[in-house]
Structure 1
Amino acid sequence: MLSLCKVTDSLLISNSRSACTEKLLMQEGVTFCINVSRQQPFPSCQRLQTLRVPVFDDPAEDLYRYFERCSGAIESTIQSGGKCLVYCKNGRSRSAAICTAYLMKHHRLSLKDAFETVKTARPVAEPNAGFWSQLQKYEEHLHIQNQVAPSKKETVQ
C-alpha cells in the first residue's frame, strides 16, 4: 500500500515507492524531500526541494555525520511553512534514524521517546544496529550540548 506516514504535522516518512507518487506528495503538501539512499530515485515533481544522503542501509555506514544537516534542513522547511518527507528504500532504517535524530534535536525528545514517535507513525521503522548506536551517541552529544549551553544572564559582582 502506498502511503506517507505522519511523524508530526509537517514531517513525514515513507518508502521510495510512496515518495515517488506525485499524487501523495501533492495531497500532503510536501515541499522538501530527503532521500536517504545512494540509488533510490527522487520524485519527478519539479517544485520540490531535495537533498540526498548517500548511505547504504549498512551498520558500518556513517549516518551520524548527516544528523545535524538533515535536522536543520527539516526544521528550516517547517519554519518556512513547508512539509518535509524523509524516505529510503523501505522506509524502515535510514529514514527512521534521520526522523528520530530530528525529533531529538528540535523537539528535545530522548532517543526512546523520539523513536517511539517515529515507530507509532511507521510501525515498520527499525534503524539497524549501527544507526541505533549512532543515535545513542547523538543523544549523548545533544545532552552535553544542552547542559553546557552558556547562560544568557551575566552575573554582576
Structure 2
Amino acid sequence: MAVSQVTPVLFLSGLDSALNPAVLSSRNISLIVNASGLDVVYPPLDGMQVLQVPVQDRPHAPLGHYFDPVAERIHQNQTGRTLVHCSAGRSRSPSLIMAYLMRFEGLSLRRAHEVVLDQRPFIRPNAGFWRQLMDYERTLFGRNSMRMVRTASGVLPEALRDSEESNPEPEYCLNV
C-alpha cells in the first residue's frame, strides 16, 4: 500500500512514495514530515516544506519529544496537505499521526489507532512508541484508553473498555 489517506489533509506512507513527484503533486502535498531517520532529497516542488524527525525505530528512541512540534506543524499547514512518512510507514509515522489526532482532533489513543489502522492495516508501532503515546494521552486527557499486555507475541497494546479507562498512572500490565 503506497499512500494512505488518514484525513482529508493528512497522508501516511513509506519512503518510496515520499520520493515520487507524481504522488506529492497529485495530492497537493506542501509539507513532508520525514520520520525515516535518513537525510532525504525530495523532488523539487514549489512551496514544499520538510520537517525532519531524526529518530530511529527503536523502543527507547525519544519519539515523544516530537509529538507536540510535529502535531503543531501539521495543524499549521494551511497551504496544502501533509505527508508523514518513515521508512515503511509502519511505526514512527503512524505514531506521529496518532499523536496529532489526539492533540488536534481530540481523539483518544484507542480511537486514533482505529482511524489510522482502518486506512493502513499493517501499522505496528513498537512497544516503546506505544508507551510514549499512552503517556501523551494521559498528559492530554488525564486518562488512558490503552494498556500494554504481555502476550505470546511479546508486549502489545490492548484497548481498555470504557469502564476500565484508567485515571491513575498508566499501568503496563505485564502479567497476562
Establish whether TM, by shorter chain, passes 0.5: yes
Q: Amino acid of the residue matched to residue 12 of structure 1? A: F
Q: Which region of structure 1 is more displaced relative to structure 2, 41-50 or 116-125? A: 41-50
Q: Amino acid of the residue matched to residue 5 of structure 2? A: K
Q: Cα distance 1:52–1:68, how it changes in 2: closer, same or farther (>3 A)?
A: same
Q: Which region of structure 1 is more displaced relative to structure 2, 33-42 or 12-21? A: 33-42
Q: Amino acid of the residue matched to residue 38 of structure 1? A: G
* Alpha-carbon distance between aligned partners in 1 of 2:140 and 2:61, rounded to the nearest angstrom: 21
How does the TM-score come out when normalised to structure 1?
0.86
Q: Cα distance 1:42–1:100, how it changes in 2: closer, same or farther (>3 A)?
A: farther
Cα offset for 1:81? 4.1
* Alpha-carbon distance between aligned partners in 2 of 1:101 and 1:42, rounded to the nearest angstrom: 26
Deviations 1:9-43 (A, max 9, x none): 00000000011100011111111000002215242
Q: Amino acid of the residue matched to residue 128 of structure 2? A: G
Work out whether residues 33 and 84 of structure 2, in 8 Å CA contact, stay in contact via their aligned partners in 1.
Answer: yes
Work out whether residues 40 and 88 of structure 1, in 8 Å CA contact, stay in contact via their aligned partners in 2.
Answer: no
User: What's 1:4 paired with?
Assistant: 3
- In structure 2, stretches of 5+ residues that fail to align are 143-176
Higher helix share: 1
Q: Amino acid of the residue matched to residue 131 of structure 2? A: S
Q: Cα distance 1:42–1:123, how it changes in 2: closer, same or farther (>3 A)?
A: farther
* Alpha-carbon distance between aligned partners in 2 of 1:81 and 1:108, rounded to the nearest angstrom: 23
Work out whether residues 64 and 133 of structure 2, in 8 Å CA contact, stay in contact via their aligned partners in 1.
Answer: yes
For the pair 1:113 / 2:111, whether they are aligned, the reply is: yes
- Matched position secondary structure for 2:83: strand
* Alpha-carbon distance between aligned partners in 1 of 2:59 and 2:130, rounded to the nearest angstrom: 9
* Alpha-carbon distance between aligned partners in 1 of 2:42 and 2:21, rounded to the nearest angstrom: 7
Q: Amino acid of the residue matched to residue 60 of structure 2? A: A
Cα offset for 1:120? 0.9
User: What's 1:53 paired with?
Assistant: 53
Work out whether residues 92 and 125 of structure 1, in 8 Å CA contact, stay in contact via their aligned partners in 2.
Answer: yes
Larger RCO (CA within 8 A; separation ≥ 6)? 1
User: How many residues are aligned here?
Assistant: 141
Q: Amino acid of the residue matched to residue 22 of structure 1? A: P
Q: Amino acid of the residue matched to residue 26 of structure 1? A: S
How does the TM-score come out when normalised to structure 2?
0.77
* Alpha-carbon distance between aligned partners in 2 of 1:131 and 1:13, rounded to the nearest angstrom: 17
Work out whether residues 75 and 104 of structure 2, in 8 Å CA contact, stay in contact via their aligned partners in 1.
Answer: yes
In the TM superposition, structure 1's runs of 4+ consecutive aligned residues that sit over 4 Å from their partners are: none
Deviations 1:104-151 (A, max 9, x none): 00000000000111111111111100000000000000014xxxxxxx
User: What's 2:90 paired with?
Assistant: 92
- Correspondence list, 1:1-157, <5 A: 3-39=2-38, 41-47=40-46, 48-77=48-77, 80-144=78-142
Higher strand share: 2
Aligned-residue identity in percent: 38
- Matched position secondary structure for 1:7: strand
